[in-house]
Amino acid sequence: MPIPQYPSIDQFLEYLKFEKRYSKHTLISYQNDLEQFFQYLVSQFDSPDLELISPTMVRSWLAELKEDEISSKSINRKISSLKSFYKYQLKTGTLIKSPMGTIIAPKISKRLPQFVEQIDMDHLFQHMPFSDDWKGRTERLVILLFYSTGMRLSELIQLKEMQLDAAHQQVKVLGKGNKERIIPINKDLIDQLQKYIEEKPANAQQTDHLFVAESGKPLQPKSVYSFIKARLSEVTTIKKKSPHILRHSFATHLMNNGADLNAVKELLGHSSLAATQVYTHNTIEKLKDVFKKAHPKA
């Protein structure tokens, strides 16, 4: 919902879209956070001018969010959105001071990422049957590519045939902020993907997306979520069963088998090493387990 009193929101979103090249999903998150904040100012503080918005007003909004039982993680994201917005205002000279300098984000308890055990992933591909039709072949290859590359759902759905490089056994992925990264894949998977492309249904000729549904149209996020949840339910009892769990499984299994942290960071497309370090905790837990089982003084 546009807020006429604060046209700077639109200018900031244009900056994120065209200069920072943020994804549509990220832009919507920023827009929702900012509009929620400024609508609050309209209703509670009679639309103060941008330069008159104070830290007290920001804290008042955050307190209301907490009363509404919004999670600390969501509140932190909203604080981050506001900080980015005000940083842009300082950069463009619209403001000379930000009210965000004294705003402290609430602490978030660190949770280890859930993942599917390696033995369970092996069981899924070796012993669980997939139907021998286009739907079954698509589901199996999608899950296998997720687990083999750790790519995000948006990256896989948007994957084009031309991004597959069979000669060098790799795939080029377009990640967050339109950043490209190269992920190696084994020859067997390359061969399976090439055969899949060759045997695409006739009604899929209008698209260059790698994966298509029986209708010939690109896969939709909802359907991918649905069949991954169903297939993972056959081999694991973990609570979350989603494409992102396959990404966690990819990273965790790499770390547990001795992969270099920086290499895992590059494969995942993380901008900072801190985001990747969470997977070292699972490695440490595995080492503790080995110690308890194998050492006489454990």
Give the confidence band of 281 by pLDDT, cuts at 50, 70, 90: confident
* pLDDT(207) > 90: no
The pLDDT of 264-288, averaged and rounded, is 82
Q: Are 261 and 283 in contact (CB under 8 A)?
A: no
Average pLDDT across the chain, whole number: 91
Give the residue, 5 or 269, on which the prediction is more confident. 269
The pLDDT of 267-296, averaged and rounded, is 79
- Distance separating alpha carbons of residues 19 and 203, to the nearest angstrom: 37
The pLDDT of 149-159, averaged and rounded, is 95
Burial of 116: CB neighbours in 10 Å, binned 0-12, 13-18, 19+:
buried
Segment among 32-46, 55-69, 89-103, 203-217 with least mean pLDDT: 203-217
Q: Are 33 and 58 in contact (CB under 8 A)?
A: no
Give the residue, 281 or 161, on which the prediction is more confident. 161
The pLDDT score that the predictor gives to residue 105 is 86
How many Cα neighbours within 13 Å face the side chain of 225? 5
The full set of domains in the chain, from first to last, is 8-92 (1.10.150.130), 118-294 (1.10.443.10)
Give the confidence band of 157 by pLDDT, cuts at 50, 70, 90: very high
- Distance separating alpha carbons of residues 16 and 24, to the nearest angstrom: 10
Residues ≥6 apart with Cβ < 8 Å to 257: none
Cβ atoms within 10 Å, residue 51: 11
The pLDDT of 98-127, averaged and rounded, is 89
DSSP 57: H
The pLDDT of 195-204, averaged and rounded, is 90
* pLDDT(103) > 60: yes
* pLDDT(110) > 70: no
- Distance separating alpha carbons of residues 222 and 118, to the nearest angstrom: 26
Q: Which two tokens stand for residue 51?
A: 């330069």
The pLDDT score that the predictor gives to residue 231 is 97
Residues ≥6 apart with Cβ < 8 Å to 282: 112, 113, 115, 252, 255, 256
3-state secondary structure 229-266: HHHHCCCCCCCCCCHHHHHHHHHHHHHHCCCCHHHHHH
Indicate the SS3 state at residue 156: helix
**DSSP-assigned beta bridge partners for residue 184:** 170
Q: Are 34 and 20 in contact (CB under 8 A)?
A: no
Q: Are 252 and 238 in contact (CB under 8 A)?
A: no
- Tally of residues, the chain: 298
Q: Are 216 and 201 in contact (CB under 8 A)?
A: yes
Tracing tokens 């006429």 back to the chain, one arrives at 4
Q: Are 94 and 53 in contact (CB under 8 A)?
A: no
Residues with a catalytic annotation lie at 152, 176, 244, 247, 270, 279
* pLDDT(2) > 70: no
First-to-final CA distance of the chain: 60
* pLDDT(44) > 70: yes
* pLDDT(205) > 80: no
